[in-house]
Every structure is written in structure tokens, then in C-alpha cells.
Amino acid sequence: QVQLVESGGGLVQPGGSLRLSCAASRSILSFYAMGWYRQAPGKQRELVARIIRSGRTEYVDSVKGRFTISRDNAKNTVDLQMNSLKPEDTHVYYCNAADSGSYWGQGTQVTVSS
């Protein structure tokens, strides 16, 4: 059983920053990839960013240059630094870990509003 616990969501003004963190219950290097997804009400969940075991990172076009995914192998955490936030970044953000299966955290709300 894999547990992923997210933290760091909240309310921020446009142009502000937030940092999300995901703590895994086992070594993050045991997964092929770890990533952050987001979902708005009535919409499909979409990939925001992920980091592959090799260290390669991938981002959806809408966040490139603003968001940065990183990991701490010793702490088994994966963070998402979000800068220059926009109202359209308002979603529930989910941490995901993928190997032969796919595991999800409980989600954390990010609201960008003045």
C-alpha cells in the first residue's frame, strides 16, 4: 500500500507563489515517475508536471517557465513550486506515483483569486 500525502495548497493572489509538497510512504525512486495533476470541477484530471526516475522533467505547456517540479530522494518528497500564478491555475492538485500501478494523494486545493 502506497500513501501519498500532499500539503501546501491555499489561497493566493494572481502573480503570487505557492509550493506544494508530496510525501511518499516508500522510496520515490522505486516509482517510474512521480507527478502532479490537477482537476477542476466537471473537468478531466490533467498532468501538470512529472519527474521521471532518470530525473527528466515534463510540463504541460501552460505552466512552462512558471512551475518547477523537484524531488528530494532522501526525504521521499516531490515538490511543485508554482510562481506567477494565474486564476486559471485554480484547481485541486493531486500527487501521483506510477510504477506497475498508479497511486494518488487526497488532493489539495489551490485557489488563485484577488
What is the chain written as a DSSP string?
---EEEE--EEE-TT--EEEEEEESS-GGGSSEEEEEEE-TTS--EEEEEEETTS-EEE-GGGTTTEEEEEETTTTEEEEEE-S--GGG-EEEEEEEESSSEEE---EEEEE--
Residue 1 has pLDDT above 90, yes or no: no
pLDDT tens profile 68-108: 999 999 999 999 999 999 999 999 999 999 999 999 999 99
pLDDT-derived band at 7, boundaries 50, 70, 90 = very high
Q: What whole-number distance in Å separates Cα of residue 23 and Cα of residue 96?
A: 11
pLDDT at residue 97 in the model: 97
pLDDT tens profile 34-71: 999 999 989 999 999 999 999 999 999 999 999 999 99
Q: What whole-number distance in Å separates Cα of residue 25 and Cα of residue 95?
A: 13
Longest dimension (CA), the chain: 42
